Amino acid sequence: MTNKRRTPQEWQHIIEAQQASDFTIAEFCQQHALNPSTFYLQRKKLAALSLPPSNSDWLPFENQVHHEQVSRQWQIVLTLPNGVVLNMSTDR
């Protein structure tokens, strides 16, 4: 396997070529002398670059909440399959 440095554009082309092929990633990498670990890493990096910022469309939480005093009390008990119990309540 070669140790050639590739640009993000080259990796994008390689990843698209694998997706368009009928080969698994392992088969594709073997045929193109690529390290599968490097292929997965570069695919992950490109996916992260193409995502919008994680909170770009979100309003700050405080802008969505009406700041009123609520006197109601509540309690939630969540029992998970592994036996963990999560208790949440308003302790006022």
Does this model's pTM top 0.85? My answer is: no
**Beta strand extents in the chain (DSSP E only):** 75-79, 85-89
Cβ atoms within 10 A of the Cβ of 47, count? 10
Span 38-88, pLDDT tens digits:
999 999 999 888 766 555 566 666 655 565 665 678 888 999 999 899 988
Record the tokens describing residue 24, joined without a space: 């698994």
Q: Which amino acid is at 57?
A: D
User: What is the structure's pLDDT at 54?
Assistant: 58
70 DSSP assignment:
-
**What is the rounded average pLDDT of the residues 15-32?**
95
Record the tokens describing residue 25, joined without a space: 């990633």
User: What is the structure's pLDDT at 73?
Assistant: 81
Cα–Cα distance measured from residue 22 to residue 20, given in angstroms and rounded to the nearest whole number: 7
User: What is the structure's pLDDT at 61?
Assistant: 62
Angle at 55 between CA 54 and CA 60, to 5 degrees: 160
Q: Domain residue spans in the chain?
A: 8-50
